[in-house]
Amino acid sequence: KNEVEQSPQNLTAQEGEFITINCSYSVGISALHWLQQHPGGGIVSLFMLSSGKKKHGRLIATINIQEKHSSLHITASHPRDSAVYICAVRLPVKYSGGGADGLTFGKGTHLIIQP
């Protein structure tokens, strides 16, 4: 079983629509990240959260620790929002290293916003 599950895998919507991308994980975590990857490869961190809700512009991220679930919402979507959105978590100490554990990633949601 994947440790981080994202849905949907692919999403095509019309400009202006409200978008929701979901992320579920299987064990307790220290932090959850939402990342954005545009064609060409560069990854940008959108949010890092461990509880509650964060908002930045038209983007909103929520997390429910008890349900092990997070959502990323995009309001008033625009074609420039077209990208791959990736959920990543920091799992409980998995490696023997000094606290710098790497992230475990979902497979991403490919979002296309059509004009």
Partner 1 sequence: DVKVTQSSRYLVKRTGEKVFLECVQDMDHENMFWYRQDPGLGLRLIYFSYDVKMKEKGDIPEGYSVSREKKERFSLILESASTNQTSMYLCASSPGNSYEQYFGPGTRLTVT
Residues at the interface with partner 1 (CB under 8 A): 30-31, 33, 35, 40-45, 48, 86, 88, 90, 95-108
The answer to whether the beta carbons of residues 37 and 83 sit under 8 Å apart is: yes
Please identify, using beta-carbon distances, which residue of 16 and 52 lies nearer to partner 1: 52
Structure tokens given for 106? 């979902």
Please identify, using beta-carbon distances, which residue of 76 and 93 lies nearer to partner 1: 93
Q: How wide is the angle at C-alpha 17 spanned by C-alphas 68 and 43, nearest 5°?
A: 55
Nearest distance from C-beta of residue 50 to partner 1, angstroms: 9
Nearest distance from C-beta of residue 18 to partner 1, angstroms: 25
The answer to whether the beta carbons of residues 105 and 54 sit under 8 Å apart is: no
- Phi, psi dihedrals of residue 80, rounded to the nearest 5°: -70, -10
For the four alpha carbons of 45, 58, 11 and 20, in that order, the dihedral sign comes to positive
Please identify, using beta-carbon distances, which residue of 17 and 49 lies nearer to partner 1: 49
Nearest distance from C-beta of residue 100 to partner 1, angstroms: 4
Please identify, using beta-carbon distances, which residue of 91 and 113 lies nearer to partner 1: 91
